[in-house]
Amino acid sequence: MEIKGKKAVIVGGASGMAKATAEMLRQKGADIAILDLPSSAGAEVAKELGGTFHEVDVLDDDQVEAALGAAVADLGGLHIAVNTAGGGTAKRTLTKEGPHPLDEFRKIIELNLIGTFNLNRLQAFHMSTNEPEDDERGVIIDTASIAAFEGQIGQVAYTAAKAGIAGMMLTMARDLGSLGIRAVAIAPSLFATGLTKGIPDEFAAVLTKDSAFPKRLGRAEEYGRLAIAIVETPMLNGLCIRLDGGTRFAPK
């Protein structure tokens, strides 16, 4: 898909990998809408990019539908969706206090997997109304994690959620293929965003010692470059791409 002139919604776009992606899409001529929490820097980022900001909590289904609808109305359409909202907790299947609390497991699944699918189903609906360009109407990019494939001790809920995102890409691509809408996930390793941003070099070196190359934390712009490549390469569809420098998580 040619990016210039396209309409892009970036969920979680106030910071980190999504912000870097929004900046790169804007540089290539896309119009941008940022969706993020009210407490985020979304308004400032959107202003810098000449776009719009829409407050949203992905755990609120009605708010997601309203915010996405408003973003698409402001943009005048939707061709590109990038979704990075999510998070996790550290808790084992069986803890010293007893079994993993079921409500905490449900919350992580709701935030990461169900929240992402809710965005996807609505984004696909908006994309389906586009006039096709070379038979293509849109591309959805979700964010999994390499924890989906080798989750560490204490990541059982997060692993289940991210594995769900990775696992639904092919089926979603098949569901949407007749409409010319693609679905691809990116599975990053440890990136210098969020809690890991600004950690001391010696600590980062410990975390990345088993990487093949480069032996460092990922950079937000590296996620952005892959997202751009996905948008511009129609044959990338129905898969989850690891972005990890050859990292394989140890058990802990």
pLDDT (tens place) for every residue of the chain, 252 residues total:
999 999 999 999 999 999 999 999 999 999 999 999 999 999 999 999 999 999 999 999 999 999 999 999 999 999 999 999 999 999 999 999 999 999 999 999 999 999 999 999 999 999 999 999 999 999 999 999 999 999 999 999 999 999 999 999 999 999 999 999 999 999 999 998 876 776 777 777 877 888 999 999 999 999 999 999 999 999 999 999 999 999 998 898
Tell me the pTM: 0.96
- Given 53, 105, 158, 249, which residue is catalytic? 158
Reported as half-sphere exposure (CB side, CA atoms, 13 A), residue 143 has a value of: 28
Is the Cα torsion angle 95, 97, 103, 107 positive or negative in sign? negative
Which residues lie closer than 8 Å to 206 by C-beta, 6 or more apart?
Answer: none
3-class secondary-structure state, position 217: coil
The per-residue pLDDT for 193 is: 86
The per-residue pLDDT for 183 is: 99
Torsion of CA 22, 23, 25, 31, to 10 degrees: 80
Q: What residue spans define the domains of the chain?
A: 7-243
Active site residue 223: no
The third-level CATH classification (topology) of the domain covering 7-243 is: Rossmann fold (3.40.50)
Which residues lie closer than 8 Å to 249 by C-beta, 6 or more apart?
Answer: 146, 147, 150, 151, 152, 189
End-to-end CA distance of the chain: 40
Give yes or no for a contact between 25 and 80, defined as CB atoms under 8 angstroms apart. yes
Which single residue is written with the structure tokens 């609906």? 125
